[in-house]
Amino acid sequence: MPRALTRTLRRWLYIGHRWIGIVTCLFFAMWFISGVVMMYVAFPGLSDKERLAALPDIAWEKVTLSPDDAMKKAGATHYPRELRLNMTAGEPVYRLADWDGKRQTISAIDGRATTDVTEQQALAVARHHPASQSPQLEEIVDRDQWSVVARYDPLRPFYLVHLGDDAGTKLYVSSRSGEIALDTNRTERIWNWLGSIPHWIYPTVLRKDQPLWRQVILWTSGTCLVVGITGIWIGILRVRIKRRYASGNITPYRGWMAWHHVTGLIAGPFVLTWMFSGWLSVNPGEYFANRNTPREVLQRYTGHDAPTITTAIRVLADKRAAEARFVWLDGMPLVILASRDGTRTVIDAASGEIARLPQENLWKAATTLLPGSRLESRLTIGEYDAYWYAHHSDRELPVLRAKFDDDAQTWFHISPVTGDILGRIDSSRRTYRWLFNALHSFDFQLLLMYRPAWDIVMWLLSILGTIVSVSGVVIGWRYLKR
């Protein structure tokens, strides 16, 4: 390549990095600082354990409708994805979730459909929450910063109830069904303005439009990735290790420019991995497979599709539980009772006796998941590993891992307690686990096993990244002032 052309290209490389970097370094700094906050404060949500803790025990004596009758009242033509029984404001109700996302609530007393919950009923629901002191209705909200995502759509609008506790806990009670969809506390709300919201670029006005938000993330993180690559390239071109500059330094720069140059060379690879994995977080081009388990796969596993289940409520009357979930497993009807502390008991739906689920029966049911493939490996996972691990949330142990020899090399994780399919992961998702989760969260099992090793590594890298970013912001500001 002619020397004149090389000089021209290098000049434009420097100019492009400088001026695009003025804006992108603000994003870099925001992401590094907010990422540290996210290490300790998650975006508000409602875990299954929290949901159960806020439910009263089922008043079996009030239940007059069978699960079969509830499915008839709901007009179910297939066995629903979920069929649960719990209490709402002193009334037992069946909650059905269909495969298309439709939700229905049917009274277990008289079979009427619940589509409108009053303010008083919402307050009655809130009183059972462990943090409830003096619940008061704050407002009715359709969509706000904490309930912005689409999974809450079937439950909107919400009664926003303040529980009156010292933590400032607020509940989102569905005005359609009376379900608690979400809870937040003051600490979560404050810290998330410094954590998840800036990190995910999550203001309500943008996030409520999922396609637009996704494009913003793709183009913003993609541009920052290009700036990071050009920055490392320039850094390598300008550094001298052996034949140093006249000052004896490896960099020709001073002050903030020197900090930016040297720290960028050290932290550059980690900055790039975070930018690249962040770009992958929205699955560009839908390249990676969906992690959801298809309906037909689960239906084969349950061995039943008709909207019926053989059970009599009277056989459950002596069981204390906050929720009953009616399921099928390999053609066998079961009731999974959950207490407020999260303990689960599997009951034979017909007899009301505790059901045993021998692992052989679970492995037999697992063979039906992918009928065209062979179950080539049956593992019991007693400790967390690279593909089944806890990071910021607990996961059940032990679990069963069923490996199939299909083209996608699919694995299923199965609960040995309830028989539930806890997760599905194929070769595409395993690749995504390393390219996104590992590179972005550094959730390597070795680091997670020896906390605070993970914290120390993440803090050090985040500090280096922040220095690179802030120095870039200062340098850019100085250029703009000129």
Provide the number of structural domains found in the chain.
Answer: 2
* Domain end residue (candidates: 139, 154, 188): 188
- pLDDT at residue 413 greater than cutoff 70: yes
Of 130, 159, 188, the domain-final residue: 188
**Predicted local confidence at residue 243, as pLDDT:** 83
- In 3D space, the residue among 396, 402, 319, 327 whose CA is nearest the CA of residue 359 turns out to be 402
Q: Are residues 210 and 184 in the same domain?
A: no
Q: Are residues 241 and 169 in the same domain?
A: no
Q: Do residue 135 and residue 163 come from a single domain? A: yes
In a domain, 224, yes or no: yes
Within 10 A of 56 (CB to CB), how many other CB atoms are there?
16
Q: Quick check: 23 pLDDT over 90?
A: no
214 shares a domain with 181: no
Within-domain flag for 470:
yes
Domain membership of residue 469 (yes or no) is: yes
Higher-confidence residue: 1 or 25? 25
458 domain-assigned: yes
Same domain, 180 and 214: no
pLDDT in tens, 158-212: 999 999 999 999 999 999 999 999 999 999 999 999 999 999 999 999 999 999 9
Q: Are residues 161 and 216 in the same domain?
A: no
Q: Are strands 170-174 and 344-348 parallel, antiparallel or unpaired?
A: unpaired
Whole-number pLDDT of residue 6: 73
Q: Identify the CATH number of the domain in which residue 131 sits.
A: 3.10.450.40
Residue 125 belongs to a domain: yes
Residues 237 and 262 in one domain: yes
pLDDT grade for 235, boundaries at 50, 70 and 90: confident
Same domain, 179 and 212: no
Is the pLDDT at 1 greater than 70? The verdict is no
151 is in which domain, residue-wise? 116-188
Residue 91 lies in a domain: no
209 lies in the same domain as 281: yes
Residue 350, pLDDT > 90, answer: no
Residue 409 lies in a domain: no
What does the pLDDT look like over 30-41, one tens digit per residue?
A: 999 999 999 999
What is the model's pLDDT at position 145? Answer: 95
Query: With 90 as the cut, is the pLDDT of residue 46 above it?
Result: yes
222 and 179, same structural domain?
Answer: no
Residue 101: pLDDT band (50, 70, 90) is: confident
Q: Over the stretch 364-398, which tens digit does the pLDDT of each residue have?
A: 999 999 998 999 999 999 999 999 988 777 889 99
* Residue 214 pLDDT greater than 80, yes or no: yes
Q: Is residue 182 part of a domain?
A: yes
pTM listed for this prediction: 0.90
